[in-house]
Chains A and B, each alone.
Chain A
């Protein structure tokens, strides 16, 4: 069965600082990997996705993520965070023939001025 681990429940970063959110997945075959963001009281917005090819993927709002098969990781990065990035971030895994998404428990990001 597929699973996703987001080891950091809560991260606090200063505005303008760099950010890295960790995600580790478990799946036997080649996974599809996603990062979603959820602002308070809102739905989930897709930030970026990895299906195949280049292991460094670019997303919206200046985010990027790198797929590392050897480490079973798909960490999300941003070089300089903005106050509007404060939200909950979810990593998810899907797969060929198994379209349901399995989500991690999320990482809540707080931005301090």
Chain B
């Protein structure tokens, strides 16, 4: 158990819908990262927050957005969902920047 929690574990929804994935980092960790794992793209970095502020952006679609709240938990919002958005979404956290990242168990999103 890494100490990073993600909810829900599974999510099944339809195309065009909007979902929110939630992540609670390890106690004391200020950085939160979101990654997408799919069969065709592998593991890809989406976005990073540090202490409430966006710090780095990767291959995140405009339909996707994220935020980190004052209690340091983070949410990833996916809208206008397409079949291709079906994937495992991981959250990771680290103490600060340039530290090893600890991954949560992931949320498996299925878009039908």
Interface residues of B: mostly helix, strand, loop or mixed?
strand
Chain A interfacial residues counted at CB < 8 A: 22
Give the one of A44, A45, A90, A98 with max B CB within 10 A.
A44
Query: B42's contact among A46, A49, A94, A105, by CB below 8 Å, is which?
Result: A105
Interface residues of A: mostly helix, strand, loop or mixed?
strand
On chain B, the residues within 8 Å of A42 by CB distance are 105
On chain A, the residues within 8 Å of B56 by CB distance are 98-100
Query: A43's contact among B2, B94, B97, by CB below 8 Å, is which?
Result: B2
Contact indicator A46/B98 (Cβ below 8 Å): no
If the complex has contacts A32-B98, A43-B2, A46-B102, are A100 and B33 also in contact, measured as CB distance less than 8 A? Answer: yes
If the complex has contacts A43-B2, A45-B2, A106-B42, are A101 and B98 also in contact, measured as CB distance less than 8 A? Answer: no
If the complex has contacts A32-B98, A34-B100, are A101 and B45 also in contact, measured as CB distance less than 8 A? Answer: yes
- Decide if A63 is an interface residue (CB 8 Å cutoff): no
> When chains A and B are docked, how far (Å) is the Cα of A98 from the Cα of B94?
14
- Decide if A102 is an interface residue (CB 8 Å cutoff): yes
> When chains A and B are docked, how far (Å) is the Cα of A45 from the Cα of B90?
12
Contact indicator A43/B90 (Cβ below 8 Å): yes
- Decide if A96 is an interface residue (CB 8 Å cutoff): yes
On chain A, the residues within 8 Å of B90 by CB distance are 43-44
Contact indicator A43/B105 (Cβ below 8 Å): yes
On chain A, the residues within 8 Å of B98 by CB distance are 32, 94, 96-97, 99
Give the one of B4, B43, B44, B58 with max A CB within 10 A.
B43
B10 → chain A closest CB, angstroms: 11
On chain B, the residues within 8 Å of A32 by CB distance are 98
Contact indicator A99/B55 (Cβ below 8 Å): yes
On chain A, the residues within 8 Å of B25 by CB distance are none
Query: A99's contact among B35, B48, B104, by CB below 8 Å, is which?
Result: B48
Q: Closest residue of chain B to A98, judged by CB?
A: B56
On chain A, the residues within 8 Å of B44 by CB distance are 103
Contact indicator A44/B103 (Cβ below 8 Å): yes
> When chains A and B are docked, how far (Å) is the Cα of A71 from the Cα of B90?
31
A-B contact pairs, 30 of them (CB 8 A): A36-B103, A42-B105, A43-B4, A43-B90, A43-B103, A43-B104, A44-B92, A44-B103, A45-B103, A46-B100, A46-B101, A46-B102, A46-B103, A49-B100, A94-B98, A97-B98, A98-B56, A99-B33, A99-B48, A99-B56, A99-B94, A100-B48, A100-B58, A101-B45, A101-B101, A102-B45, A103-B42, A103-B43, A103-B44, A105-B42
